[in-house]
């Protein structure tokens, strides 16, 4: 159907199977949406945007699908602060910068390029760390500028 589009459904289906997920319409719809839009979106935003595409899904199933896709490594979760869990189509492993003032979120390259890029000192043996996500917080240039002016 959308053979020429960026979210070519055949590619998406192949990725989904490769990640061990059964291909379902809701999963395809959510994944295609995140890929098409780019950037970081909350589950509620995803729900609203799906409605804009005339795809009816309950809030609970949007959460379930996002969980499945995240678990399969197709979607990446960005924990941007209290009550702000954001999702994005996984492209490459990276971290995030969140501006305290305007809440802007920026992708920050991972210096190692792969998980886990940090190895903490753990209280004992037996742990397996496979991921470390870093959130950098501070002020973006625009907010710093605004602060200087006031």
- The footprint of Zn ion (CB under 5 A) covers 88, 99, 101-102, 104, 107, 140, 143
User: Which has the closest alpha carbon to 105: 90, 94, 91, 118?
Assistant: 94
Report CA torsion sign: 22, 26, 30, 33. Answer: positive
What are 137's two structure tokens? 């917080």
* CA–CA separation, 38 and 16 (whole Å): 18
Q: Select 14 or 142, whichever has its Cβ closest to Zn ion.
A: 142
In angstroms, give the least distance from the CB of 110 to Zn ion: 11
User: Which has the closest alpha carbon to 75: 83, 85, 110?
Assistant: 85
* CA–CA separation, 3 and 114 (whole Å): 32
Q: Select 17 or 71, whichever has its Cβ closest to Zn ion.
A: 71
Environment class of 126 (CB within 10 Å of its CB; exposed 0-12, middle 13-18, buried 19+): exposed
In angstroms, give the least distance from the CB of 38 to Zn ion: 9
In angstroms, give the least distance from the CB of 143 to Zn ion: 3
Q: Select 11 or 102, whichever has its Cβ closest to Zn ion.
A: 102
In angstroms, give the least distance from the CB of 138 to Zn ion: 9
Q: Select 2 or 145, whichever has its Cβ closest to Zn ion.
A: 145
């Amino acid at each position: 159907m959308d053979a020429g589009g960026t979210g070519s459904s055949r590619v998406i289906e192949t990725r989904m199977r490769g990640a061990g997920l059964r291909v379902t319409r809701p999963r395809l719809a959510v994944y295609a949406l995140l890929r098409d839009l780019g950037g970081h979106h909350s589950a509620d935003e995803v729900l609203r945007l799906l409605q804009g595409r005339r795809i009816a899904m309950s809030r609970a199933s949007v959460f379930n699908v996002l969980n499945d896709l995240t678990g399969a490594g197709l979607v990446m979760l960005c924990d941007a602060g209290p009550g702000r869990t954001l999702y994005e189509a996984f492209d490459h492993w990276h971290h995030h910068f969140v501006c305290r003032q305007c809440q802007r979120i920026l992708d920050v390259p991972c210096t190692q390029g792969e998980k886990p890029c940090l190895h903490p000192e753990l209280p004992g043996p037996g742990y397996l760390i496979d991921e470390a996500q870093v959130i950098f917080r501070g002020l973006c240039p625009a907010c710093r500028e605004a602060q200087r002016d006031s």
